[in-house]
Copies of this chain bind each other. A is one copy, B any other.
Amino acid sequence: MAQSVPQRPRVGRPPRISREEVLAAARRVVEEGGVGSLTMRRLAAEVGSTPMALYHHVKDKEELLLLLLDDYAAGLARPALPEDPRERLVTAALAMHDALAGCAWVVEVLVADDLMSDAGLWYAENIVDAAVACGLTPERAVHAYRSIWYYTAGEIIIRAAGRRRAADDRPTHRERVFADLDEETLPRLASIGGRWATLTAQDTYRQGLEALVEGLLP
C-alpha cells in the first residue's frame, strides 16, 4: 500500500538545530549541574537558539528527560553474568547499582517514572529470573526484586542527596543535630558521635545487598 519513500521531499525552512543536538546539549547541562539546572531557556542558550525552537524537536520537558534516560540506558554495558543463580542475582543487582551510581542525575528522573526504560528492564529480568532459579516462585521473585530495588534506589538517592548537601559549604541541619546529642535519651548515638559521619560515608552497598539476598533466598 504505502510505497517506500527513497528521499523525503524536504520543503520549507532548513533546520538550524537537530533533535540530536538538543539532546547532546541537554546531556552536557545535566551532567554538569544536575537536572535542576536543566531549563528550556538555558538549553536554548546552549544550542544557540530560542527556548521555543526546542519545542519543535521535543514535545516538552518531560519527553526531553525521558529521551535522555533512554539514551543513557541504551549505552550501558551488559556484563556477562555468572551461571550460578545466586551469584547472577548479586552481580545483576550490583550492575544495576553501578549503572545508577555512574550517573547521579538519572535518579531524579527515575523516581518520577520508575524503572528507567527498556534497557533498564534487563536488570529486572535477570534478577527476577535468577531468583526463580534459586527456588522462589515467580511471585516471590518479583517481591524479592522489589526489595532489592527499594534498597538500591534508596542507597542511590540518599547518597546523592548527601553529596548535594556536602557541596554546600554551610553546616547542615544534621551536623548541628549530631554535634549535641543528648546522652540521656540517645546514649547509643551519643557514644558513636563524631564517627557517624565517617561510618555512613563508607560504601556498604554490597554488604547490605548480600545480607538482603541471604535473607530473601530459601
Contact = CB atoms under 8 A, between A and B. Distances in A.
Nearest to A161: B111
B204 A211 contact: no
Nearest to A159: B150
A84 interface: no
A132 B188 contact: yes
Contacts of A188: 125, 128-129, 132, 138
B143 A154 contact: no
A191 B188 CA distance: 48
A157 interface: yes
Interface in A97-115: 111-115
A158 B215 contact: no
Interface string A198-210: 0110101001101
Interface in A136-160: 138-139, 142-144, 146-147, 149-155, 157-158
B207 A147 contact: yes
13 contacts: A113-B172, A115-B174, A122-B186, A125-B185, A142-B195, A142-B196, A143-B204, A147-B207, A150-B154, A150-B155, A154-B157, A215-B215, A215-B216
Interface of A: 66, 111-115, 117-118, 121-122, 124-125, 128-129, 132, 138-139, 142-144, 146-147, 149-155, 157-158, 161-162, 165, 172-174, 177, 181, 185-189, 191-192, 195-196, 199-200, 202, 204, 207-208, 210-216
